[in-house]
C-alpha cells in the first residue's frame, strides 16, 4: 500500500506485476481451502482481501464470496437445516449470479427435504408444521405449487377440526437460546459429553451417518455477540470448530 503512493509510472507497473503474482498465489490458497472444506479459514481470508484498496481484486473476491456462501449452503442442506441453507444460497447468488445452475440443483434438494419432513410431521399429527413446510416447498418449487396448495387446503381443514392441536413455533431459528461461548475452553478430541458439560445443549443439532456407519454430528451454538459456533463430531469426538 505504501509503495503504491509513488508517482513513478515505471515503478507502478512493476508493483502491478508483483501484485498480480501475489494475489494469484492467494487465490490458489483459497482454492485449496475450499477443496479441503476449510470454509471458516476461507471466510477469514476473504474478509482480509476485502480490505485491499491499492489493487483492484473486487471481481475475483466477489466470485469467491459467492463460492463461500454456496459451500456453506450445501453444508447446511446436508445437515437438513433447510432455512439456513436457503439463506446462504441467496447470499451466494447475490455475489455471483453465475452460480445459479448449482444453486438451483440444491434448492430442489431443499424443497424435497421440506416435503420429506412434511411426511414426518403428518405422522406425528403436527399438522401446522406440515403446512408451514409445504408452503416453504411450494415457494422453492413453483411448478409443484398447484398440487401442494391442494394438500395445504386439505390439511387446513383438518386443523379446523382439531382445535386442541398444539401450535407450531414457526421462528425456531430466531428463538434459540444465546450462550456465552469461549472457544479457548474447547479443542478437537473432546467428547460430546465434555462439550455439553461446559456449554449445555446446542441451539441446533443434526446427525448424519455415512456408508461406513460413521456418525457425524453438527452442533450450532449462538454467541452473545450475535455470531455462531459450529462444532463437528465424528463418532462422538469433536474434530472441527468453525466460528462465524
Of 7-11, 20-24, 26-30, minimum mean pLDDT range: 7-11
d(CA 193, CA 202): 12
For the chain, the average pLDDT equals 80
Q: Is the dihedral of CA 126, 131, 133, 137 positive or negative?
A: positive
Instruction: State whether residue 38 is helix, strand or coil.
Output: coil
Cβ distance 71 to 34 under 8 Å? yes
For residue 86, give Cα distances in angstroms to 38, 48, 83.
21, 26, 5
Which of the four CATH numbers 1.10.10, 1.25.40, 3.40.50, 1.10.3470 does domain 78-172 have? 1.25.40
Region 225-236 average pLDDT: 84
Of 94 and 187, the structure prediction assigns the larger pLDDT to 94
The three grid cell numbers given for residue 160, joined into one nine-digit string? 379446523
Of 92 and 54, the structure prediction assigns the larger pLDDT to 92
When pLDDT is cut at 50, 70 and 90, the band that residue 120 belongs to is: confident
Of 150 and 5, the structure prediction assigns the larger pLDDT to 150
Helix (H) or strand (E) holding 216: strand 215-223
Residue with cell 444460497: 89
Region 69-86 average pLDDT: 89
**What's residue 159's pLDDT?**
64
Of 119-123, 196-200, 218-222, minimum mean pLDDT range: 119-123
* CATH numeric code, 176-243: 3.30.1450.10
pTM of this structure: 0.60
Amino acid at each position: 500500500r505504501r509503495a503504491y503512493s509513488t508517482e513513478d509510472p515505471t515503478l507502478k507497473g512493476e508493483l502491478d506485476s508483483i501484485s498480480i503474482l501475489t494475489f494469484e498465489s492467494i487465490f490458489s490458497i483459497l482454492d485449496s481451502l475450499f477443496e479441503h472444506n476449510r470454509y471458516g479459514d476461507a471466510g477469514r481470508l476473504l474478509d482480509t482481501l476485502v480490505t485491499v484498496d491499492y489493487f483492484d481484486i473486487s471481481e475475483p473476491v466477489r466470485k469467491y464470496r459467492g463460492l463461500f456462501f454456496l459451500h456453506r449452503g450445501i453444508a447446511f442442506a446436508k445437515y437438513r437445516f433447510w432455512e439456513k441453507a436457503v439463506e446462504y444460497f441467496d447470499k451466494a447468488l447475490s455475489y455471483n449470479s453465475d452460480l445459479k445452475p448449482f444453486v438451483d440443483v440444491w434448492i430442489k434438494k431443499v424443497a424435497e427435504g421440506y416435503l420429506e419432513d412434511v411426511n414426518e410431521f403428518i405422522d406425528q399429527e403436527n399438522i401446522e408444521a406440515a403446512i408451514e413446510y409445504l408452503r416453504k416447498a411450494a415457494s422453492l418449487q413453483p411448478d409443484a405449487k398447484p398440487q401442494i396448495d391442494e394438500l395445504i387446503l386439505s390439511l387446513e381443514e383438518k386443523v379446523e377440526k382439531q382445535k386442541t392441536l398444539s401450535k407450531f413455533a414457526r421462528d425456531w431459528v430466531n428463538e434459540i437460546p444465546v450462550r456465552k461461548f469461549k472457544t479457548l475452553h474447547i479443542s478437537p478430541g473432546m467428547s460430546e459429553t465434555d462439550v455439553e458439560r461446559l456449554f449445555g445443549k446446542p441451539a441446533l443439532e443434526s446427525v448424519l451417518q455415512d456408508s461406513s456407519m460413521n456418525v457425524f454430528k453438527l452442533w450450532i451454538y449462538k454467541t452473545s455477540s450475535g455470531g455462531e459456533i459450529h462444532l463437528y463430531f465424528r463418532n462422538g469426538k469433536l474434530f472441527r470448530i468453525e466460528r462465524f
